[in-house]
């Protein structure tokens, strides 16, 4: 899986329907406004969402063994709280690995005492880091 | 920003022209960089329709930002796509009354979610919305080929929801605990997924083992502004692990949601 910069790899607004149908999937992080979450998957397949806590869900493929992405829930709240520390790049995108690190810092000691939860955050961060996941669709001010 | 449409020409203010040029340049560079499909190595068609679209995008989101889809209020769909892409034009759907009166209410599948999936080229999510929420196979070329592979009732449907919960016990938009969000639980045996094929890009497959399908809805009274004739907006759908004991319900269902409204 290549790098996922987001910009330019989304469906172009001039892409025709037929092109879209046969266009290969390219991984992008996206902020879903109505469900207030950021999702990233590196494969377009049947997936299973396993809740880790109130903020993180890991996304597995249909075998439920391989992690193919993650979902950051209640994103607007965290974004507003942390945007000063995230080093917004030209006010337009954030590196998701840095975001997950900030969330881990925010959770603090709770994470240190819960191995499974800690491993889940590490897995999400690893994907975000390895696949250079960036988020361009940032929540707008309420 | 001021712009005036006069016949086949658009007159814009100097400031708007600069913003327009900047935005077009950025988009052009991106397109050239990634070699956008169907645009001949980044070459763009500057038709009147496209310029109007660019102007609309600028007016709502500003230049250089990739946020044309960033909220349901600012969705800008290219006019060429309207009515042309049947598979992102989902119908209204029927959902069981959360109050448990046994009646069916009308809900809308979030345009914003659908268009996000479309923009991200996530076909599986779109096909699942058709199969599990709209109760139809996606209207894509050659879908009739897989029609015979769908077991009767295998995709379930919102009207066959087995349980309904309220509240998410976590922040959601402006709510600290997502108390307004309704979750329907479905038990499909099959689902629809993307399939790399020149003939039909969908396939029917067994649902992941030991899972249930959760469908999330923001009810009418939580919407600002409320929508006439709609009881809620369906914002998401996903397979989640089933409870080890109550296999038709989600794992940890008693702690996961605010309250259980009903189950069948």
ipTM of the complex: 0.88
Q: Mark yes or no for CB contact B34/A16 under 8 Å.
A: no
Q: Of the candidates B120, B171, B256, which has its C-beta nearest A28's C-beta?
A: B120
Q: DSSP 3-state assignment of A110?
A: helix
pTM reported for the whole predicted model: 0.77
pLDDT grade for B68, boundaries at 50, 70 and 90? very low
Q: Which residues on A lie below 8 Å from B209 (Cβ)?
A: 64
Residue pair B157/B186 in contact by the 8 Å Cβ criterion: yes
pLDDT at B22: 57
Q: Which residues on B lie below 8 Å from A55 (Cβ)?
A: 170
Q: What is the mean pLDDT of residues B91-110?
A: 92
How many CB atoms neighbour CB A61 within 10 A?
A: 18
Bridge partners (DSSP) of residue A73 are A37
pLDDT at B71: 34
Q: Interhelix angle for A96-107 vs A115-130, to 10°? A: 160
Residue A108 has pLDDT above 80, yes or no: yes
Residue B1 has pLDDT above 60, yes or no: no
Q: DSSP 3-state assignment of B155?
A: coil
Q: Give the best residue of B44, B84, B122 to mutate against chain A (max A CB count within 10 A).
A: B122
pLDDT grade for B82, boundaries at 50, 70 and 90? low
CA distance A3 to chain B (A): 12
pLDDT at B19: 64
Condensed to tens digits (0 to 9), the pLDDT of residues A67-106 reads 999 999 988 888 888 777 776 655 678 889 988 998 899 8
Residue A76: CB partners within 8 Å, gap ≥ 6?
A: A36, A139, A142, B171, B173
> For chain B, which residues make up each domain, given as ranges?
3-82, 87-263
pLDDT at B79: 52
Instruction: Cite the beta strand spans of chain B per DSSP E.
Output: 3-6, 9-12, 93-96, 104-109, 163-166, 182-186, 190-194, 202-206, 211-219, 232-241, 259-263
């Amino acid at each position: 899986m290549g790098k996922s910069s987001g910009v330019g790899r989304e469906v172009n607004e001039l892409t025709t329907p037929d092109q879209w149908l046969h266009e290969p999937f390219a991984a992008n992080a996206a902020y879903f406004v109505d469900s207030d979450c950021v999702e990233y998957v590196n494969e377009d397949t049947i997936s299973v969402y396993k809740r880790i806590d109130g903020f993180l869900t890991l996304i597995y493929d249909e075998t439920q063994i391989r992690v193919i992405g993650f979902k950051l829930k209640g994103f607007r709240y965290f974004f507003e709280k942390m945007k000063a520390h995230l080093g917004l790049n030209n006010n337009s995108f954030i590196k998701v690995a840095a975001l997950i690190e900030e969330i881990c810092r925010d959770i603090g000691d709770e994470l240190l005492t819960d191995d499974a939860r800690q491993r889940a955050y590490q897995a999400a961060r690893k994907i975000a880091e390895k696949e250079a996941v960036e988020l361009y669709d940032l929540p707008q001010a309420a | 920003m001021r712009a005036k449409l006069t016949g086949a020409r658009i007159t814009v203010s100097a400031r708007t022209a600069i913003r327009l040029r900047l935005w077009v340049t950025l988009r052009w560079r991106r397109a050239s960089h990634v070699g956008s499909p169907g645009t001949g190595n980044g070459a763009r068609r500057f038709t009147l329709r496209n310029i109007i679209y660019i102007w609309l995008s600028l007016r709502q989101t500003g230049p250089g930002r990739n946020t044309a889809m960033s909220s349901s209020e600012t969705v800008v769909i290219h006019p060429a796509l309207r009515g042309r892409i049947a598979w992102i034009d989902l119908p209204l759907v029927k959902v069981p009354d959360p109050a448990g009166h046994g009646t069916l209410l009308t809900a809308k599948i979030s345009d914003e979610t659908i268009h996000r999936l479309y923009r991200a080229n996530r076909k599986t999510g779109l096909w699942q919305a058709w199969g599990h929420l709209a109760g139809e196979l996606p209207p894509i070329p050659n879908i009739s080929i897989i029609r015979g592979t769908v077991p009767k009732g295998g995709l379930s449907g919102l009207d066959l929801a087995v349980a309904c919960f309220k509240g998410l016990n976590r922040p959601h938009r402006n709510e600290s605990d997502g108390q307004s969000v309704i979750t329907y639980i479905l038990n499909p045996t099959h689902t629809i997924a993307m399939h790399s094929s020149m003939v039909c890009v969908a396939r029917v497959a067994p649902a992941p083992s030991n899972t249930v399908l959760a469908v999330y809805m923001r009810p009418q009274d939580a919407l600002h502004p409320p929508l006439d004739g709609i009881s809620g907006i369906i914002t998401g759908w996903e397979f989640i692990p089933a409870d080890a004991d109550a296999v038709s319900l989600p794992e940890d269902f008693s702690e996961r949601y605010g309250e259980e409204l009903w189950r069948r």
